[in-house]
Chain A
Amino acid sequence: GAGVSQSPSNKVTEKGKDVELRCDPISGHTALYWYRQSLGQGLEFLIYFQGNSAPDKSGLPSDRFSAERTGGSVSTLTIQRTQQEDSAVYLCASSDWGADTQYFGPGTRLTVL
């Protein structure tokens, strides 16, 4: 079956603009994670969704970052007033409920000029 998909694959934006990144998890997976991969910080956890429960936002670096998951499936990560330090690859992963194996999408490379 289809894996995790993300769009766009690349996004270039200007400092101060808002961006939206999309993740489509594996069908039937109830858990969805966002991570960020950057040169300075490595791979960092951002936010986690599980079914209809309140998301775990403990990894979001600032209040400019937010995410939602509609209908328990597709998720959108929004970064407001982007800064140059937001430049990174944003990875989405999904897993079955209670499973510890996560399947990653190809990522969105965000460049803030």
Chain B
Amino acid sequence: GNSVTQMEGPVTLSEEAFLTINCTYTATGYPSLFWYVQYPGEGLQLLLKATKADDKGSNKGFEATYRKETTSFHLEKGSVQVSDSAVYFCALSKSSGSARQLTFGSGTQLTVLP
């Protein structure tokens, strides 16, 4: 079946540090890949996505590239801010008929210190 493995947290960084959160997946065929973010006290929000190999998703300074050869979708940001503190979830969507339920990783808690 489909699965997503994320690097274990929590991750604590100083403001302006470089961020990488690793994500690898197992799926047959060509899933779509996502990063969702959950800020404290809020619901899940889509951060970025990529739908085919070598696509790069980007938003709010975050980037992730769909690497089929390594089955990875690592999240990166060059300079984190305190406001980036949140839980980040990697996910994949593999259609079965019209169903596109998401399979999530376990989440990575990021804390950015001023």
Contact = CB atoms under 8 A, between A and B. Distances in A.
Which of B32, B51, B93, B99 counts the most chain A CB atoms within 10 A? Answer: B99
Interface in A18-51: 31, 33, 35, 42-43, 45, 48, 50
Interface stretch (A60-68, A70-78, A79-87, A102-110): A102-110
Interface residues of A, number: 25
A50 B89 contact: no
A71 to B, nearest CB: 19
Q: Is the interface of B mostly helix, strand, loop or mixed?
A: strand
A56 B99 contact: yes
Interface string B17-48: 00000000000000010101000001111100
Interface stretch (B8-16, B68-76, B100-108): B100-108
Interface residues of B, number: 25
Interface in B69-114: 89, 91, 93, 95-96, 98-107
A31 B89 contact: no
8 contacts: A31-B100, A33-B101, A33-B102, A43-B107, A53-B98, A56-B96, A56-B99, A105-B43
A106 B91 CA distance: 18
A88 to B, nearest CB: 14
A91 B49 CA distance: 20
Given A105-B43, A107-B43, A97 B100 contact: no
Contacts of A1: none
B100 A100 contact: yes
A101 B46 CA distance: 8
